Amino acid sequence: MTTDLIRRRDIDQIALLTLANPPVNALGRAVRQKLAALASELEADDSVRAVVLTGEGRVFVGGADIGEFDRPPEEPHLPDVIAAIEAARKPWVAALNGAALGGGAELALGCHYRIFAKEARLGLPETALGLIPGAGGTQRLPRRIGLAPAIEVITAGRTLWADEAQDAGLADRIAAGDLIAEALAFARTLDGPLPQPAGAASLADPGPAFWEEARERIAKAARGNPAPVAALEAIHVGVAEGFAAGLRAERETFLRLRGSDEAAALRHLFFAKRAAVRPAALRGIEPAPMARIGVIGGGTMGSGIAAAIAAAGLEATLAETGPDALEAGLTRVRAIFEAQVTRGLTDRAGAADRLARVSGTVGLGALADCDLVIEAVFEDLAVKRRVFEELTRLCRPDAILATNTSYLDPERIVAGLPNPDRFIALHFFSPAQVMKLLEIVPLAATTSRTLATGFALAARLGKIPVQAGNGEGFIGNRILKRYRAEAEALLFAGASPSEVDQAMRAFGFGMGPFEMQDMAGLDIAFRAREAARAQGQDLPEGPGDRLVRAGRLGRKSGGGWYDYASESRQPHPSAEVAALIAPLVTPRPRPSAMEIAERLIGAMAEEGQRICDEGLAQGPADIDLVEVHGYGFPRHKGGPMFHTARKGPTRAGGPACPGPTNADPRKGGAAPT
Ligand code: COA
The rounded distance, in Å, linking the Cα atoms of 140 and 356 is 45
Which of 24, 56, 109 is the pocket-test mutation for ligand 1 (most atoms within 8 Å of CB)? Answer: 24
Q: Order across the sheet with 437-442: list the strands.
A: 358-362, 315-320, 292-296, 372-375, 400-403, 423-428, 437-442, 464-467
Residue 120 has pLDDT above 80, yes or no: yes
Q: Which residues are within 8 A (CB) of 620 and not within 5 positions of it... i.e. 6 or more apart?
A: 608, 609, 612, 641, 642, 645, 655, 656, 657, 661, 663, 670
CA distance 355 to 311: 9
Q: End-to-end CA distance of the chain, in Å?
A: 27
User: Taking CB atoms and a 6 Å cutoff, what residues make up the pocket around ligand 1?
Assistant: 23-24, 26, 59, 62-67, 99, 101-102, 125-126, 129, 131, 271, 274
Which is higher by pLDDT, 152 or 662?
152
Share of the chain above pLDDT 70, in %: 96
Which residue's alpha carbon is at the smallest distance from atom 40 of ligand 1? 62
Q: What is the largest CA-CA distance in the chain?
A: 89
Q: How far apart are CA 137 and CA 168, in angstroms?
A: 15
Within a 10 A sphere around the Cβ of 241, how many other Cβ atoms? 12
CA of 24 relative to ligand 1 center, distance in Å: 6
Residue 126 bears catalytic tag? yes
Residue nearest to atom 22 of ligand 1 (CA): 23
Q: Look at 10-19, 22-31, 209-218, 543-552 and tell me which has the smallest mean pLDDT.
A: 543-552
Inter-CA distances, 514 with 487, 500, 510, 611, Å: 8, 8, 12, 24
Element (H, E) at 232: helix 227-241
The predicted-structure confidence for 558-582, as pLDDT tens digits, reads as follows 899 999 987 778 899 999 999 988 8
pLDDT at 667 over 70: no
pLDDT tens profile 166-213: 999 999 999 999 999 999 999 999 988 999 999 999 899 999 999 999
Query: For the stretch 121-158, what's the b/e string if a residue is b when 16 or more beta carbons lie within 10 angstroms of its beta carbon?
Result: bbbbbbbbbbbbbbbbbbbbbbbbbebebbbebbbebe
- Kindly give the distance from the C-alpha atom of residue 62 to the centroid of ligand 1, in angstroms, as a whole number: 6
Q: Are 611 and 471 in contact (CB under 8 A)?
A: yes
Which pLDDT does position 670 carry in this prediction? 31
CA–CA distance from 93 to each of 43, 88, 150, 152 (Å)?
14, 12, 22, 26
Determine which residue's CA is closest to atom 47 belonging to ligand 1.
63
Which atom number of ligand 1 is nearest to the Cα of residue 271?
13
Tell me how far apart the alpha carbons of residues 470 and 440 are, in angstroms, rounded to a whole number: 10
**What confidence score (pLDDT) does residue 3 get?**
56
DSSP code, position 559: B
Testing ligand 1's pocket by substitution, the residue of 19, 32, 60, 66 carrying the most ligand atoms inside 8 A of its CB is 66
From 107, 115, 160, 113, select the one nearest 133 (Cα to Cα). Answer: 107
* Atom 16 (ligand 1) nearest CA: 274
The winner for highest mean pLDDT among 65-69, 139-143, 198-202 is 139-143
| Residues 408, 378 contacting (CB under 8 angstroms) | no
Query: How many other C-beta atoms lie within 10 A of the C-beta of residue 253?
Result: 22
pLDDT in tens, 477-529: 999 999 999 999 999 888 999 999 999 999 999 999 999 999 989 998 888 88
CA of 241 to the centre of ligand 1 (A): 34
User: What mean pLDDT value characterizes the chain?
Assistant: 93
213-216: which pairs have CB atoms within 8 A and are 24 or more residues apart?
A: 214/151
Compute CA 546 distance to the chain's CA centroid, rounded to the nearest angstrom.
Answer: 38
Alpha helices in 493-631 (DSSP H): 497-507, 513-520, 523-534, 543-549, 575-581, 593-613, 620-630
Ligand 1 centre and the CA of 232: distance in Å? 25
Instruction: Report the pLDDT value the prediction gives residue 403, as an integer from 0 to 100.
Output: 98
Annotated active-site residue in 106, 375, 439, 499:
106
Greater confidence (192 vs 385) lies with 385
56 C-alpha to ligand 1 centroid (Å): 15
Tell me the whole-structure pTM to 2 decimals. Answer: 0.90
Residue-wise pLDDT tens digits, 582-591: 888 887 788 9
* DSSP secondary structure letter of residue 588: S
What pLDDT does 664 receive?
Answer: 37
Q: Catalytic site residue 327? A: no
> How big is the chain, counted in residues?
673
* Alpha-carbon distances of 591 from 121, 144, 172, 509, rounded to whole Å: 50, 52, 60, 19
Higher pLDDT, 407 or 469: 469
With contact defined as beta carbons under 8 Å apart, do 455 and 440 qualify? yes
Type of residue numbered 267: R
Q: Ligand 1: which atom is nearest the Cα of residue 275?
A: 19
Across residues 218-244, what is the average pLDDT?
95
